[in-house]
Chain A
Amino acid sequence: MGAGSSLPYRLRPNKAVDRELFLSMLMRLAPALSLEKHHYIGLGGPFLEDFRLVHARLGVARMTCIETEEEVHKRQLFNRPIASIECIHETLENYLDGHDFECPAIVWLDYTEPKAITEQIERFARTIGMVPMGSILRITLNANPESLGKPLPNDISVEVGDAASGDRALKPTVQEWRLARFKERVGQLFPSGLSPEGMTHKTYGSSILRVVKLAVEKEALNFRDRQVVWSLATHYKDGQAMVTAALVVCPADDNSIRDILDGWEFRSTPDAPHRLDMPALSTLERLTMESDDDARAKLAFSLPKSDMGEDPIDVFKKFYRIYPHFSRVEL
């Protein structure tokens, strides 16, 4: 687990929005799927915040938290906000392999390790055939293209428009180099025709989500009793870039869940994920942006843009309702 994952949420507004989107999706589906009876399985981190929220909002009673590191596991036992949360010291893979799904589940495969994305994606895809109807699956994956490795400076050339370095014919650009590594990493799941343009900070998340979609669709071909309904996909960044995709496993002949999701303003699929990329805002900035129709003129300065290249004001306008507001509390 990377160092970034234990940062508190208040320093990671985009991750907080991402989680809020997921919770609001669950709330939307709760009445139709009776989510309170589902079994929630996930990785809680030392503070089990997701577990607390899922329990508070949905009333899910049966919850299992998996953790590989012993010290973190002990800390979870100490911190666990609700006594009914079962904390297990095990890898998620071993737990799932040894688990029989007796009731529908909400499984969040919250991965951070970039090197293993292929196994992670394959695991996610495989799980759609193992869970009962009405289950919800979610995956989080590292979407930083630099995780594909760094070429030696001598191994690459550069090209911008018509201008290129002298050894362009012999050496790849950094994007071409990454594409070759990506191809090695994902093997048979490689989306045919994917070009080096899909290997930039801005586009890499979408490329990974394409792989996720292909893997799941491929697996879905094996089952005639069920269909997969994509419900939420996000690409966010605070610190590390991450992508997420969530889906509902539904009976093949039942479109009621699809209809419910179609009516949800935040429904998104791996083809067009929400791009969450907002800078930290002061309280005054936030209130101005919420209350003023023409915030851009009022602010009279540009908010910083990140690698993902989204306009912060547009992103804020879309998600202001669930944008978190943190302030200091002295205990």
Chain B
Amino acid sequence: MTKPTTDRAEASPTKRFFVSMLTRDINLADAILDLLDNCLDGALRLADGGDVDYAQHFVKIELTADHFSIEDNCGGIPRDVAKNYAFKMGREPDDDRDSDSETIGMYGVGMKRAIFKMGREALVRTRYGDDTFEVPITSAWLEAKGWDPLPINEPTEVNEQLAEPGTVIRVDELYDGVARHFANEAFENEVRTAIAEHFTMFLQWGLKVDLNGTPVEPVFVEVLVSDRADGPAPFVFQKTIDDVLVSITVGLNTGRSLGNDDDEDSGFERDRSSATAGWTVLCNDRAVIVGDKSRLTGWGDGIPLYHPQFAILTGIIEFRSKVADKLPVTTTKRALDTSSNVWLESLVKMKEGMRVWISYTNQWKNHPRADQSNFWEDSKPLSLGKTIAAVALRTDVKKSESQIEFNPQKAKVLPEPPGKTPSSRRIVFSRPTEELRLVSKMLFDIDDEKPGIIGEKCFELTLAKAVKQGV
């Protein structure tokens, strides 16, 4: 039998442990995207439940070898929030901000994690209404042992004011590796691409994001929909699962207009499929995953593994909920919680949609692009929302109170290749360029006809001979 003593064993986390654990979870580009997420959550709060006019908002990001900064006009941080929540490591249960808007922040670590990831000195300056103040996070504080509260300072000079409500975060004394990245043009391009993809919806709605002085243009993720009621259209599914509205579409993207004849001889080493082929997953308008071609989104799991043949397919799935922690995302917001019910139930429908198009590409595999183009002539690329709206108007869509579903294969609106013979087999072989040139010259009087055409004509010649001999 033991008895209690007055001694206590210290069990609080050390700052060093905390900071290094926290920042290990996330890569540098994602940390920047987290900060952008915070700006957008600010814009949502500012609209107070109403529609946000994103064209009124800007975010300016600077990446340089000696500092990082992000500036927005998205409303700023209220002083009581700064005092009680915003700088805490993790979100308090009594923090009931955002209970009725579709924000994505839920753990309250994004800003701190991003700052700690980048450097040793930071300053958060914010203006909420007419109240301007700043919170410095210094290297002295980071190195000190306890968890003393951070100071809140008020401006005394004009240049410490902000022109409109919003927030500026500046990080100095960058870590060496971080500085090398920020000075690197390829890294800037990576961040720009990530913003263009992940925040495409907001950019399309007019949000201005500047990266090192140049505006970021949105990347469009779209599928082809025909205007005709009996024309080809993508697979569509929409249903509310566990308080989350799930919308799915799978169809042809605008990327390569339906197979490129020129690339017939290109092997896997040439495959640099466009980013938007594969699956894009949106949560409350943020793209969590863009162009996924892995097992995560079902490839190779009851359907074939991703292959260049499928580079013309795009799937888009969107989860929408006012309860952020019902969304199937992880703390980094750029990864999926694949064990959640809403994800698993959706995955079944995603694969169903993919099967439709996999069999479509199989059917058309050996047919020239021109044959297929005619059927798609009057179709145009649409975003997920517009696709669902357009397809929902069709008569053969299955609609009930809780869900919408359209399967183009079952509705028989997909074009079929002309003269399809089930007995066709594919012939593939390779020969040295010198020999190709020789045969090309003999058959066509030019020495650079496409290898596929040379091979086909050679076969035709031999076939004619075989038929004549009546073998």
Contacts and interface: CB of A to CB of B under 8 A. Distances in A.
B272 A69 contact: no
Interface in B261-275: 262-263, 266, 269-270, 272-275
A305 interface: no
A187 B272 contact: yes
B193 A187 contact: no
B189 A180 contact: no
Interface stretch (A113-121, A242-250, A316-324): A113-121
A169 B184 contact: no
A268 B214 CA distance: 23
A234 to B, nearest CB: 20
B403 interface: no
Contact of A215 (B180, B186, B187, B254): B186
A125 to B, nearest CB: 9
B256 A180 contact: yes
Interface stretch (A11-19, A21-29, A216-224, A295-303): A216-224
Nearest to A172: B254
B64 to A, nearest CB: 15
B274 A183 contact: yes
Contacts of A151: 257
Given A170-B380, A214-B189, A217-B185, A193 B196 contact: yes
Given A118-B272, A149-B262, A192 B189 contact: yes
Contact of B434 (A69, A116, A152): A69
A190 B272 CA distance: 10
A71 interface: yes
Contacts of A57: none
B311 interface: yes
A81 to B, nearest CB: 25
A187 B270 CA distance: 10
Nearest to B227: A170
B216 A193 contact: yes
A5 interface: no
Contact of B192 (A3, A192, A217): A192
Q: Would you call the interface of chain A mostly helix, strand, loop, or mixed?
A: helix
B344 interface: no
Given A115-B266, A193-B192, A181 B256 contact: yes
B415 interface: no
Contacts of B215: 193
A300 B217 CA distance: 47
Contact of B186 (A68, A70, A186, A221): A221
A274 to B, nearest CB: 21
Contact of A115 (B181, B254, B270, B447): B270
B373 interface: yes
Nearest to A125: B186
B438 to A, nearest CB: 11
A193 B254 CA distance: 18
Contact of A217 (B184, B255, B256, B273): B184
A221 B273 contact: no
Contact of B214 (A3, A187, A193, A218): A193
B309 interface: no
Instruction: Say which size band chain A's interface belongs to.
Output: 35 or more
Given A184-B272, A214-B185, A155 B373 contact: yes
Given A155-B257, A214-B189, A221-B180, A184 B274 contact: yes
A166 to B, nearest CB: 13
Contact of A180 (B214, B254, B270): B254
A184 B187 CA distance: 20
A118 B268 CA distance: 13
Contacts of B180: 221, 224
Nearest to A218: B186
A154 B217 contact: no
A45 interface: no
A70 B187 contact: no
A193 B217 contact: yes
A119 B270 contact: yes
Nearest to A185: B272
A154 B272 contact: no
A187 B369 CA distance: 22
A170 B181 contact: no
Interface string A94-110: 00000000000000000
Contact of B373 (A152, A185, A187, A224): A152
Given A187-B273, A192-B196, A170 B378 contact: yes
B447 to A, nearest CB: 8
Interface string B432-460: 01100000000000010000000000000
A188 B272 contact: yes
B370 interface: yes
A191 interface: yes
B260 interface: yes
B291 to A, nearest CB: 10
B433 A186 contact: no
Contact of A152 (B216, B263, B274, B370): B370
A151 B379 CA distance: 17
A180 B184 contact: no
A213 interface: yes
Nearest to B370: A152
A118 B189 contact: no
B255 A180 contact: yes
A169 to B, nearest CB: 7
Contacts of A183: 255, 274-275
Nearest to B276: A183
B259 to A, nearest CB: 12
Contacts of B274: 180, 183-184, 187
A192 B217 CA distance: 8
Interface in B258-317: 260, 262-263, 266, 269-270, 272-275, 311
Nearest to B434: A69
Closest A-B pairs by Cβ, 7 of them? A187-B272, A218-B186, A192-B192, A217-B186, A192-B193, A217-B185, A214-B186
Interface of B: 180-181, 184-187, 189-190, 192-193, 196, 214-217, 254-257, 260, 262-263, 266, 269-270, 272-275, 311, 369-370, 373, 377-380, 433-434, 447
30 contacts: A70-B434, A115-B262, A115-B263, A115-B266, A115-B270, A118-B270, A119-B269, A149-B260, A151-B257, A152-B370, A155-B257, A155-B373, A169-B380, A181-B256, A181-B260, A183-B274, A184-B255, A184-B273, A186-B272, A188-B272, A189-B272, A192-B216, A193-B217, A195-B217, A214-B186, A214-B189, A215-B186, A216-B186, A217-B185, A224-B180
Given A188-B275, A217-B184, 9 more contacts: A71-B434, A116-B270, A149-B262, A181-B260, A183-B275, A186-B272, A193-B192, A195-B217, A221-B186
Interface of A: 3, 68-71, 115-116, 118-119, 149, 151-152, 154-155, 169-170, 180-181, 183-193, 195, 213-218, 220-221, 224
